[in-house]
Amino acid sequence: MAILVNEESKVVVQGITGREGSFHTKLMLEYGTKIVAGVTPGKGGIKINGIPVYDTILEAKEEHQEINTSIIFVPARFASDAVFEAIKADLNPIVLITERIPVRDSMKFIGYAREKGIRIIGPNCPGVITPPKTKIGVLPAHVFKKGSIGMVSRSGTLTYEIAAAITNAGLGQSTCVGIGGDPIIGMDFVEVVKMFEEDEETDAIVVIGEIGGNLEEKLAEYIKETGQKKPIVAYIAGRTAPPGKRMGHAGAIISMGMGTAESKIKSLNEAGIPVAELPSQVAEIVKSKLEKLKK
């Protein structure tokens, strides 16, 4: 039944009264996402897009015990408090859209979430979608359709481009997870790929990486150790990025020879994962792999 989110996800929007929170609440509701409450301290008692707003998650859960998922649009300076509030309320998963959160703050709340077995998607991410059941995030819904390809990505824009190509190829997506582009994030490639490997609705997996960090190399090591249960196809953004320059996300920086596109592509290839040279080639490679499996 896909991964992380589905029609059983009952969502609270933290920061619902802000510009981004209210705008994307409307779009999520239009998609069919079951948003049951919003939270903004000091704004309790009003409604946004027909959704009741509370001062705290505790108050929201007193009225809506079914809440099990959070999406956070709170500004960076308040985001850490919002995450800790969601963790203490045992909401799982927590989708953290906010960008520019201090790394030290992220390390603290991600460590606390792991201790409690709670999954954080983000920060600085576009969210997660299981078409057509639910969308918890800012992803453009029209490029996704129900299918069998699991997607996990560090890049929002490339997610949309490659998802559209997969949709146009007649494949569609089981679930698409944008894990975020910060140096410190909650769920990583290995965790999401493991879930896709166990998901009956996912036949193949697309991994969209970028320069900086070692998440792609960690995935390659995992695949080397365990083997592939399902076909995996990758794309790495930032092949032409100069060393020492941050490109796009805060985590997309090459330093001391580490985190280059070349090192990531080499690691993935050695693990038996093909890496497309262009985003447009991903869908073609996935389709070819699935057709070979059927023969």
DSSP codes, the chain: --SS--TT-EEEEETTTSHHHHHHHHHHHHHT-EEEEEE-TT-TT-EETTEEEESSHHHHHHH-TT--EEEE---HHHHHHHHHHHHHTT-SSEEE------HHHHHHHHHHHHHTT--EE-SS--EEEETTTEEEES--GGG--EEEEEEEES-HHHHHHHHHHHHHTT--EEEEEE--SSSS-SS-HHHHHHHHHH-TT-SEEEEEEESSSSHHHHHHHHHHHH--SS-EEEEEE-TTPPTT-B-SSTT-B-BTTBS-HHHHHHHHHHTT--EESSHHHHHHHHHHHHHHHH-
CATH architecture of 140-294: 3-Layer(aba) Sandwich (3.40)
The answer, yes or no, to whether residue 280 has pLDDT greater than 70, is: yes
Mean pLDDT value across residues 170-196: 96
Mean pLDDT value across residues 215-241: 89
pLDDT for 260 equals: 86
Structure pTM? 0.92
Q: Per-domain residue ranges for the chain?
A: 10-121, 140-294
Topology agreement, domain 10-121 and domain 140-294:
yes
Mean pLDDT value across residues 15-29: 97
The answer, yes or no, to whether residue 271 has pLDDT greater than 80, is: yes
pLDDT for 251 equals: 47
53-88: pLDDT as tens digits: 999 999 999 999 999 999 999 999 999 999 999 999
Best CATH choice for the domain 10-121 from the list 3.40.50.720, 3.40.640.10, 3.40.50.300, 3.40.50.1240: 3.40.50.720
What amino acid positions are annotated as catalytic residues? Answer: 249
